[in-house]
Structure formats: C-alpha cells, structure tokens
Amino acid sequence: MKIKRIVSNIAASNPNDAKIFYESIFDLELVMNHGWIKTYSSGEEMTTQINVASEGGSGTPVPDLSIEVDELDTVLERVKAKNIKIEYGPVSEPWGVRRFYVRDPFGKLINVLQHE
C-alpha cells in the first residue's frame, strides 16, 4: 500500500475567511470550491509527512500547521503589511531553519519556516 497524500482540514464557520490569509500571504490558489469547503494549493508536489511532538521546539507550543517557504522574508513582509500578530520569531533555530509563528483567521498556530 502507498499513501498518496495527506490533507489538513481546518474547521471554519466561514471558509471565505481563508482567502485573505492563505491567498495573499502564501500565494496559494483556490483549486476547489463547494461553498462549504475550499481547497487551496501551491500546485507543488510534496512529501507526505505527519509530525507528532511534545513541543514546537525551543520551548514553543506545538503548531497546528507548518508551512515551508522558499522566501521567508517575503512572507514576513506580507504578514506585517496585514498587521497579523507574530507570536514567535523570526528566529534562526539550532536545527537549521529560520521561522516564525502566526495564527490564521481560525486561530490555528502556523509555523512558517525556511531551511537555512
């Protein structure tokens, strides 16, 4: 048997609230819209991965999602321009990533990272 993909589902009373955060901050494209569910994608092929953790590293809470980007500073500028509160970082971690935490419109803690 082969796992083909793993999908993250976020409960939202208004899925439209995802547009500003996931489209304008992360350049994700709306690829499916049934009204009650909206699917955003980068179009990139990704590795299937599940993390199980007792903390988020460096004593931080475990994030709900981790989003790896190729230009952390660009995402950081967009977050600041939208006045989204940064909850941790940006910081270079000893395990080779630079990252920061923000919350999406649904209260999920997002770990935004770039490998150094």
On the 0-12 / 13-18 / 19+ scale of CB atoms within 10 A, 44 is exposed
* Its pTM surpasses 0.75: yes
Q: Where do we find the tokens 């941790």?
A: 88
Count other C-beta atoms under 10 Å from residue 42's C-beta.
13
- pLDDT of residue 60 exceeding 90: yes
Average pLDDT over residues 36-65: 96
Structural element, H or E, at residue 19: none
Domain ranges of the chain: 15-115
Per-residue model confidence (pLDDT) at position 55 = 98
Average pLDDT over residues 82-97: 98
Class of the CATH-defined domain 15-115:
alpha beta
List pLDDT tens digits, range 3-44: 888 999 999 999 999 998 999 999 999 999 999 999 999 999
**Is the separation of the CB atoms in 12 and 18 below 8 Å?**
yes
Which phi and psi angles does 78 have, rounded to 5°? -65, -40
